[in-house]
Amino acid sequence: MTIQRTDVQNAAHLARIAIDENDIEGYTQDLANILALVDQMQTINTDEIEPMAHPTDAIQRLRPDQVTEENQRDHFQQIAPATENGLYLVPKVIE
């Protein structure tokens, strides 16, 4: 696939990115290289390859689910401008 100058300009417009006119040729070449790499990767036979959930196949260590902080809601609500029944009252912003 050939990337043209107009393709880069259209992509920049859709992404709402300002690109300097002097940089467009460089971006055109970069995108062409990326697409060439994708084409090269698509030719690889992956029929016998099992998909992985994560490339490093790591196991996440989890911490015990224990409360480590005490409930300070009453303390924080004492300094709040407006509360009611344990909830913070805020000004209405949607009519």
Q: How does pLDDT run across 59-93, given as a tens digit for each residue?
A: 778 888 899 999 999 999 999 999 999 999 999 88
pLDDT at site 19: 93
What average pLDDT score do residues 35-55 get?
Answer: 89
- As a dihedral over the C-alpha atoms of residue 24, residue 29, residue 30, residue 31, rounded to 10 degrees, the angle is 90
What average pLDDT score do residues 11-27 get?
Answer: 94
pLDDT at site 31: 93
Q: How confident is the model at residue 36 (pLDDT cuts 50, 70, 90)?
A: very high
pLDDT per residue over 46-58, tens digit each?
Answer: 999 888 877 777 7
H helix and E strand count, the chain: 3, 2
- Both tokens of 37, joined, read 């790499």
Q: Delineate the domains of the chain, giving CATH numbers in brackets.
A: 5-42 (1.10.20)
Alpha carbon distances (Å) from 4 to 25, 26, 29, 39: 9, 11, 9, 18
8 Å CB contact between 77 and 86: yes
Residue 8 has pLDDT above 80, yes or no: yes
